[in-house]
Structure 1
Amino acid sequence: MTQDEAILLLEYVAAACPAQRIGEFTPDVWGELFAPYSLDDARAAVLVIARQQPFIAPADVIAEIKARREERIELAHIVYNGDPVETGAESAAARRALIKAAGDGLTGPSSIGRSLGAGDHLALPPGADHGPYEGRAAAVRAAIGTMPLSGDRSSDPRARACRRCGAAPGSSCTTGGRRRRDVHPVRLEDTQRAAAGLPLLDHDQAEARIKAASAAALAVRDEDQEQEAKAS
């Protein structure tokens, strides 16, 4: 993130949290803190946090960004068999490049499910030879551009908002303010129905019908018990 992007991020924070104090040097500090991260990831994190609390600390934003990156890496299912002729350091550099690309969202869910060898789109691009390890990582980064992205996210529950906890698309569900490793059942159900071309269920009406049926059953039971008591 550049310094100008950090200023844009703070404007976004100010719009989401009008009561938050932003001083003269706040953009400078935030620019240094968020230099390793992208503006898009930071803005998405701000949206998540602003739904939960009235003020936004840089540590909260960074924690949310890291959590989102970890989710992308987990969904990517990275498999890297490497090249028999490469060194251990080259293999480690190439794998780090893949992991970073997955965290950046460049690969799509479950899109790195195959090995990448020396002959698999890994020829060094012009000008990529920046050292024994960096060159190999640059080759892998170039190969990522030739890998098919997963354009169909209809089966990914995190690609849609959750009606249960209000989690934004791409964010994890929460319960009691704590991040869940799985998603709420209604979010999974909505995803499955949407993928099948079915309309979403109105769970509020369904819950109301269940409560009404339960109340009616209790009323019948109480009436039966009252009649039994009179008969005895």
Structure 2
Amino acid sequence: MTEEEAIQIAEYVAAACPAQKFGEFTPDVWGEILAPYDVNDARRAVIDLARRQRWISPGEIVDEVKARRAERIELAHVVYDGDPLETGAQSAASRRALITAAADGHLPPRTPAAALGTADRLALPPGEPGPYTKRIAAARAAVGQAVPTAREGVVNPRAIPCRICQALPGTSCEVRGRRMRDVHPARLDDAKRRAAGLPPIDPDAARAAEDRIRAATAALAAQAVTTEET
């Protein structure tokens, strides 16, 4: 908030609370107290406070603004899965930037990821090249990052979708609705094949191979039982 905006807020309070006295240097003091906050948030705080009480202090405006920012963070359901290539410090900075974006009102209220429908999960932000959830899209956009992409020679399993749990690029694998710390082995295998320049495994072919192995195992077991009986 600038000095001129702080004067506007003081005048706003004077208009809302005509019985409240202001001195010559009141706007200067208020300007120093309210400097870290957005003038529009402060103006809305004055309106809410004036509906409840006859006097308004700058500290009460600050408390109201902080409560409004905390509410925005809560309604945004901030989630940042991170990037496996980030350092711990970079991941922490990214999350702080995302929380700040939510508090500033740049992230709209969102439904928790577990309640999102298929159409909502597959929606793309403008200009993004690949599908991933709206939540991760918002996180990446807020911190100026893109969804992780597979790079030649680099094994990054979260840069590709998982054929086991259908996790999208940039998101973690899940088991019964709970996020896994690691990825499914099949996803890691697919990432290794991608890094080695090999074609992806055909899921239908993989299932057919597994069926053949199970059938062969069952046949051998049956043959062993028959041999023992004879």
The two structures have a TM-score, normalised by structure 2, of 0.50
